[in-house]
């Protein structure tokens, strides 16, 4: 029927007329499994009877949602900046007040409600440069090469925007690890770039093999122009920590193939396994000498959402660019200015992370204790997850050396695979949906991250409190045993 005498008109924006690249975007971490988990939570609140009393969301690395307590010093500094009247409160330590005063002085109108400079507040960029220099044993860091961002994701997408160009065989190709964090595949789909898959070696604790990189990039040259290589270290979803030798090999490969390196290092504080150590790509690059440190282009990324902080909601992060063409760096400055500035609250928390209390400061003992407690608990949960899953039939889980996730391989009987295909679902999605419906456990199928043909996995976070994690693992292994019996 026509309304007000007007005839029917087609929508200007519909599924046929919209940007076709957006329809290719997928993001498994917040996909259909999570949608169903939200529905189940609502049904439980409305009194529906389920085989479980709560939904355990092990699908995403959201530490505070899983019960992790905030680090006191970070929140004190943020609270003082948000509400400066608290500077008169004797309950706040002197060093937190001093830091808040300096940060407020750096803000327009002495208020964090003002816009900041587009790359971030200048003094925070200087503090980040100092932090990087300390981390890397004195290798210089230039604040002008540091850009604050709305979490690491914003920085990663910004660099990809600069890299992507061309059509057909000249279209930009970006090599990403498989399994990967779906931000990369989603961003490349949105930008209409070519995704080049290189497979991590599951049989060797998800190691990165340069020969596999060579294969992937060599094959890709037939249909696109490989221009960038992404590395996630420590790994998400796989939890591996790359050796220094591996990083050297990757840098040499990038130099040899003239590839721009993107080093996603947001989990650098999360190292658990004995013998594992975080090596930043920048540090290794400079220690390899001028042949590499003067030529290889690198962007590295950090975030307050992970580590011991887990401050996901503040959306704070930074990127440091090395050897970027000066003209391109000007274009990067222009690009970040379009969104005015990153959230100032996130910048404030980031500053408290990189310019943290030192021995002798009033806040140091509590800060040190809280930080270590978080990391010790994560190390214990990483060990428990690996050991529990490897004791259970039908699972195989590599050591969780770092980050916040396990990515176990699961055995799925042929009848289950056939049943999944009959429903038009990936077999591991079929498994994860049944797991959710019967136990309330929400994990993400491995097909959302990529995996070798014929293998099945899921990603689960190790963030739940220890007692809840024990319950989760018990329910998970019991469900899988039942699943195997039903479909054997």
**Residue with tokens 């004791």, as numbered in its chain:** 391
* Distances from the Cα of 177 to the Cα of 195, 244, 268, angstroms: 10, 18, 18
**pLDDT attached to residue 303:** 94
Q: Checking DSSP bridges between strand 317-322 and strand 146-149, what pairing results, if any?
A: antiparallel
Q: What are the respective helix, strand and coil percentages of the chain, to the nearest 5?
A: 50, 15, 40
Number of neighbours of residue 190 by Cβ within 10 angstroms: 17
Residue 262: the pLDDT is 96
Give the CATH architecture of domain 20-67+368-487: Alpha-Beta Complex (3.90)
Please state the φ and ψ torsions of residue 200, each to the nearest 5 degrees.
-75, 155
Distance in angstroms (rounded) separating the CA atoms of residues 480 and 392: 9
- In this predicted structure, what is the pLDDT of residue 1? 45
Q: How would you class 484 by CB atoms within 10 Å of its CB: exposed for 0-12, middle for 13-18, buried for 19 or more?
A: middle
The closest of 430, 442, 439 to 37, measured between CA atoms, is 442
DSSP letter assigned to residue 204: G
Going from N- to C-terminal start, the domains of the chain cover 20-67+368-487, 115-354
Q: What is the pLDDT of residue 59?
A: 85
The confidence score (pLDDT) of residue 380 equals 94
Position 5 scores a pLDDT of 58
State both tokens at 153: 């994701």
The single residue listed with the structure tokens 């887990």 is 310
What is the DSSP track for 307-336?
TTT--GGG--EEEEEES--HHHHHHHHHHH
Alpha carbon separation from 338 to 108, 125, 146, 334 (Å, rounded): 19, 19, 17, 7
The DSSP H or E segment spanning 289 is: none
Using the 8-state DSSP alphabet, how is residue 12 labeled?
S
Which distant-in-sequence residues (6+ apart) come within 8 Å of 128 by Cβ?
141, 143, 146, 148, 318, 320, 350, 354
Query: Does residue 178 contact residue 209 with C-beta atoms inside 8 Å?
Result: no
Does the domain made of 115-354 have the CATH classification 3.40.640.10? yes
User: Do the Cβ atoms of 164 and 142 come closer than 8 Å?
Assistant: no
**pLDDT means per 10 residues in the chain (488 residues)?**
63 72 65 83 86 85 87 95 93 94 92 88 94 95 94 89 87 91 86 91 92 94 93 92 94 95 94 92 96 95 92 91 91 86 92 94 96 94 94 92 92 90 88 91 88 90 92 92 88
| CA–CA dist 288, 59 (Å, integer) | 38
CA angle 458, 461, 31 (to 5 degrees): 60
What is the model's pLDDT at position 33? 81
Give the CA count within 13 Å in the CB-facing half-sphere of 52: 19
Q: Which residues contact 460 (CB under 8 A, 6 or more apart)?
A: 58, 59, 385, 405, 406, 408, 443, 444, 472, 476
Q: How far apart are CA 299 and CA 450, in angstroms?
A: 24
User: Are 435 and 478 a contacting pair, CB within 8 Å?
Assistant: no
Copy the structure tokens of residue 8.
């029917």
């Amino acid at each position: 029927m026509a309304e007000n005498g007007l005839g029917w008109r087609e929508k200007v924006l519909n599924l046929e007329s919209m940007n076709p690249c957006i329809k290719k975007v997928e993001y498994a971490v917040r996909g259909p499994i999570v949608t169903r988990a939200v529905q189940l939570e609502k049904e439980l609140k409305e009194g529906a009877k389920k085989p479980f009393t709560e939904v355990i969301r092990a699908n995403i690395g959201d530490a505070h949602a899983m019960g992790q307590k905030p680090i006191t010093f970070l929140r004190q500094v943020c609270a003082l900046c948000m509400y400066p009247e608290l500077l008169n409160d004797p309950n706040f330590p002197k060093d937190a007040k001093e830091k808040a005063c300096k940060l407020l002085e750096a803000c327009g109108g002495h208020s964090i409600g003002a816009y900041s400079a587009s790359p971030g507040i200048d003094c925070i960029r200087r503090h980040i440069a100092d932090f990087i220099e300390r981390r890397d044993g004195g290798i210089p860091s230039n604040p002008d090469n540091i850009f604050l961002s709305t979490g690491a994701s914003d920085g990663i997408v910004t660099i990809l925007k600069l890299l992507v160009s061309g059509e057909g065989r000249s279209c930009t190709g970006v090599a990403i690890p498989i399994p990967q964090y779906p931000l990369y595949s989603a961003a490349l789909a949105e930008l209409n770039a070519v995704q080049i898959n290189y497979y991590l070696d599951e049989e060797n604790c998800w190691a990165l093999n340069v020969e596999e990189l060579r294969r992937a990039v060599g094959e890709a040259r037939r249909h696109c122009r490989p221009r960038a290589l992404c590395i996630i270290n420590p790994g998400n979803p796989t939890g591996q920590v790359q050796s220094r030798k591996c990083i050297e090999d990757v840098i040499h490969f990038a130099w040899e193939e003239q590839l721009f390196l993107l080093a996603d290092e947001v989990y650098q504080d999360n190292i658990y396994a004995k013998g594992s150590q975080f090596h930043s790509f920048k540090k290794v690059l400079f220690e390899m000498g001028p042949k590499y440190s003067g030529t290889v282009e690198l962007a590295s990324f950090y975030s307050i959402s992970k580590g011991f902080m887990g401050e996901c909601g503040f959306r704070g992060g930074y990127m440091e660019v090395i050897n970027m063409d000066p003209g391109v760096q000007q274009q990067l400055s222009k690009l970040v200015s379009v969104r005015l500035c990153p959230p100032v609250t996130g910048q404030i928390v980031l500053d408290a992370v990189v310019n943290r209390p030192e021995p002798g400061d009033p806040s140091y003992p509590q800060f040190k204790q809280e930080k270590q407690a978080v990391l010790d608990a994560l190390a214990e949960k990483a060990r428990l997850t690996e050991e529990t899953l490897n004791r259970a039939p039908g699972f195989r889980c590599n050591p969780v050396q770092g980050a916040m996730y396990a990515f176990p391989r699961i055995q799925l009987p042929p009848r289950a695979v056939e049943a999944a295909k009959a429903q038009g679902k990936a077999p591991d999605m079929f498994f994860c949906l049944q797991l959710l419906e019967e136990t309330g456990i929400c994990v993400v199928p491995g097909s959302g991250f990529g995996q070798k043909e014929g293998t099945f996995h899921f990603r689960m976070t190790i963030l739940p409190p220890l007692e809840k994690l024990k319950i989760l693992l018990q329910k998970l292994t019991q469900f899988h045993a039942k699943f195997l019996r039903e479909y054997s």
